[in-house]
Structure 1
Amino acid sequence: MGEIEWPWQYSFPPFFTLQPHAETKEKQLNAWKSLILEYYRTTKQAVVDIREIDSSPLFNNTSINRKLPSEVVLIILEELYKSGNAIPLDKSKQRWLVYWHTLEEWGEIIYNWAQENGFAGSVCTLFELTQGENTTDQEFYGLDSDVLIRSLRTLEASKKAELIIFDDNQGVKFF
């Protein structure tokens, strides 16, 4: 897990208050989207729980005593949903899955790795993909299992792979 480099806005108190001016608000939301994706990439996390954001250093800058309100976090997550970088995990939209690559991009990254490393026509366990010795230098190493499965489903849809999930066995066959 890496160390996050906070952008200058993170120490700027108005960054934690939704701006009323349309152009400023758009820039602010874009900066928050970038920060959230970078934070989740660096920390290898994937789930945002709106009910727990007060304890997250991402949404709570204690050095300037500022917190991003949950309503604003929800607006940003909705924007990430539109760009294919987040999806709600429940109907009340309290828990979200966030991914710094879209699911299709993740699928292609994993598929390209499988092709380049001779795994076409063979089966890999999901554990091997995210925790195996062959993937320690890959961006998908340590990837959240929900994000992994969802990205592999995009490969299934394009007939590049088949998920194999039964009992406690989870794997993928690459074509």
Structure 2
Amino acid sequence: MSINSLSTSPLGFEWPWQYEFPPFFTIQPNSDTRIKQLEAWCDLILAYYRASKTYIMDLTEVSQSSPLFCNSKINRRLSPEAIRTVLETLESKGNVEWQDGKKDRCLVMWRTPQEWGQLIYQWAEDSGLSTSVCTLYEMHSGEDTTDQEFYGMEVWMLKRAIQALSRLGKAELIPGDNPDGSDAGVKFFS
């Protein structure tokens, strides 16, 4: 899904109650309140990106056109500085990775690579693949994964999840020939 598709709410996405609360759009000075507010913003961003199955955030675009940070109903918008504060919080949790030095574009991972790896490994075990090889394509687009949360996952995220499993000795990424890596294989270990 493209970044521009975030100009509307994902189908079936429900806004949390805080989204209708005007002070939610201003970073609060009280440290206890601020911690809770940042946590609520983190949860909202991850839920929004999960619902839209999107991974890339361009701060200029989202601060100007995304309903995520602008509630026109109550005429409130989260400032670009506040958006950065929230994203820094997500970065500290491992859910955001910056793609440029100016921190204008980032990857939003509603699950960390380690969390995805565990889900994928559980699927492999449940499917009897714990000593088998399958391709990344089979994992993100195969008939056997249509009911899995990682179905349709972008290849770069899938690779990161497998690399996390590899560090635990649970899988090995076998390089393929395609430049995009979609034909790479995965060997799972029990």
TM-score, normalization: structure 2?
0.85
- Contact 1:3–1:43 (CA under 8 A) maintained in structure 2: no
- Contact 2:96–2:108 (CA under 8 A) maintained in structure 1: yes
Alpha-carbon distance in 2 for matches of 1:66, 1:165: 48
2:33 corresponding residue in structure 1: 24
Matched, 1:128 2:138: yes
Q: Offset at 1:164? A: 2.1
Deviations 1:16-43 (A, max 9, x none): 1111121221111111011111111111
Q: How does 1:75-154 map to 2 (within 5 A)?
A: 75-154=85-164
Q: Offset at 1:166? A: 3.3
Gaps of 5+ in 2: 1-9
The amino acid that maps onto 1:98 is: V
Matched, 1:51 2:65: no
**Pairwise CA RMSD of aligned residues?**
1.6
The amino acid that maps onto 1:115 is: E
Matched, 1:39 2:48: yes
- Contact 1:162–1:174 (CA under 8 A) maintained in structure 2: yes
3-state SS of 2:184 partner? strand
Name the count of aligned residue pairs. Answer: 175
Alpha-carbon distance in 2 for matches of 1:159, 1:15: 43
Matched, 1:13 2:22: yes
1:171 corresponding residue in structure 2: 185
- Contact 2:176–2:185 (CA under 8 A) maintained in structure 1: no
Query: Taking structure 1 as reference, are residues 61 and 165 closer, same or farther at Cα in structure 2, changes over 3 Å only?
Result: farther
3-state SS of 1:166 partner? coil
Alpha-carbon distance in 2 for matches of 1:36, 1:126: 27
3-state SS of 1:105 partner? helix
1:61 corresponding residue in structure 2: 71
User: Runs ≥4 in structure 1, deviation > 6 angstroms?
Assistant: none
Q: Offset at 1:142? A: 2.0
Gaps of 5+ in 1: none
Alpha-carbon distance in 2 for matches of 1:3, 1:35: 14
Q: Offset at 1:2? A: 4.5
Alpha-carbon distance in 1 for matches of 2:70, 2:136: 34
Deviations 1:97-147 (A, max 9, x none): 122222111101101101110222322221221121111111111223222
Q: Offset at 1:87? A: 1.4
The amino acid that maps onto 1:157 is: R
3-state SS of 2:175 partner? strand
